[in-house]
Amino acid sequence: MSSVTVRVPAKVNVQLSVGPLREDGYHDLVNVFHAVSIFDEVVAKESESITVSVSGKWSDQVPVDDTNLAIRAARALAKHAGRTYGADLVIQKDIPVAGGMAGGSADAAGALVACNELWGLGLPFEDLMEIAGDLGSDVPFSLLGGTAVGTGRGERLSELPTGGTFHWVFAPANGGLSTASVYAECDRLRDASGAQVPWPQLDDTLMEALGTGDAYSLGAHLSNDLQAAALNLRPELAPTLDAGRQHGALGAIVSGSGPTCAFLAIDATHARDLALSLTTTGAAHTAVAAHGPVHGATLV
């Protein structure tokens, strides 16, 4: 096999509860992931070394050196297999970069699945998930897809049943936000307030809304403990969120560490109308309708 193509989705966090800062610098999380129909494609081609190239609307923002997470994923897979392998990784970007939608993690997951197939390793899904967890907190979910709750740093996943399809609009911002800087700002704001940070807990009402497919209830219970920090770093996101609510969004939230804004719509027609309203009024420079849940990294 000379070439393998994998399609891998973006994610939105419908609940992101962040516990106190741990001694190791991480936080315990309750992180409800939801995979949505904005996809990157990762193509792995035969090669003597591991390289990456990127095309698409966000390509100029993606590193192509050893810091690229897809390269790190391919190298981790080769190391796990105990052999030296090569692959030219070609990434078609559609997921925003540094946008809180796990674009880099998606590419890493795509590289794991593509190289596992290209190199004929035949490693089981459980092995890929173990490697993914070492690469980053969001990478295992990019493999899994669907809807799931992550605990620990977010890497320990339990699948959650969903009772239907949810429709979304995503408004990427100009420029990205560093996840580390958003967590640091969250810690700073908490220290400044002096409030006791509670242990993160799964929202039972949100769980029920996912299970029954109740978009109205889900919209009312979207939550993100990083949102205040993201808005502090990027105040221009607040008017975008407000505009989405004014145009009928059932819920409006910063996706993950941001700065992408996510809006839950009533149905597919409402999502298209909402996306159009956000762009024509200037509340967002671009807006994309999508749906979820969708499958994780998949061979195509």
Give the per-residue pLDDT at 98: 83
Q: Which of 160, 194, 218 is the last residue of a domain?
A: 160
Verify that 141 and 173 share a domain, yes or no.
no
| 141 and 288 fall within a common domain | no
pTM given for the model: 0.94
Q: Is residue 27 in a domain? A: yes
Q: Which residues are annotated as a binding site for ATP?
A: 96-106
Looking at the structure of the chain, the number of domains it has is 2
* Residues belonging to the active site: 11, 138
On whether both 22 and 154 belong to a single domain, the answer is yes
Query: Do residues 134 and 210 both lie within one domain?
Result: no
Residue 73 pLDDT: 98
Give pLDDT, residue 6: 98
User: Within this chain, do residues 71 and 209 fall inside the same structural domain, yes or no?
Assistant: no
**Binding site residue list:** 96-106
Q: Is residue 191 part of a domain?
A: yes
- Give the domain-ending residue among 141, 160, 179: 160
- Whether the pLDDT of residue 16 is over 80: the answer is yes
CB neighbour class for 64 (10 Å; exposed up to 12, middle 13-18, buried from 19): middle
Same domain assignment for residues 63 and 180:
no
Same domain, 144 and 255: no
Chain segment 136-195, per-residue pLDDT in tens: 889 999 999 999 999 987 778 999 999 999 999 999 998 888 989 999 999 999 999 998
* Mean pLDDT score, 212-220: 98
For 79-111, write each residue's pLDDT tens digit. Answer: 999 988 999 999 999 999 888 999 999 999 999
Mean pLDDT, all residues of the chain: 95
Position 300 in a domain: no
The answer to the question of residue 180 being in a domain is yes
Residue 187: the pLDDT is 95
Segment 24-68, tens digit of pLDDT: 888 999 999 999 999 999 999 999 999 999 999 888 889 999 999
Are 189 and 78 in a shared domain? no
126 and 106 together in one domain:
yes
Looking at the fold, whether 171 and 146 belong to one and the same domain comes out as no
What residue numbers bound the domain in which 146 lies? 3-160
Strand partners, 243: none
CATH number at residue 256: 3.30.70.890
DSSP string covering the chain, please? --EEEEEEEEEEEEEEEEEEEPTTS-EEEEEEEEEEEEEEEEEEEE-SSEEEEEEETTGGGS--STT-HHHHHHHHHHHHHTS---EEEEEEE-SPTTSSS-HHHHHHHHHHHHHHHHTT----HHHHHHHHHHH-TTHHHHHHBSEEEEETTTTEEEE---SS-EEEEEEPPSS---HHHHHHHHHHHHHHHTPPPPPP---HHHHHHHHHT-HHHHHHT-EETTHHHHHHH-TTHHHHHHHHHHTT-SEEEE-TTSS-EEEEESSHHHHHHHHHHHHHTTS-S--EEEEE--BSSEE-
Domain end position, chosen among 140, 160, 180? 160
Residue at 297 is within a domain: no
pLDDT-derived band at 15 (thresholds 50, 70, 90) equals: very high
Considering the domain architecture, whether residues 138 and 16 belong to the same structural domain is answered as yes
Examine residue 235 and state whether it is found in any structural domain, yes or no: yes
Residue 56 belongs to some domain of the structure: yes
pLDDT digits (tens, 9 = 90+) for 245-289: 999 999 999 999 999 999 999 999 999 999 999 999 999 999 999
CATH of the domain at 39: 3.30.230.10
The answer to whether residue 123 is domain-embedded is yes
Same domain flag for 11 and 89:
yes
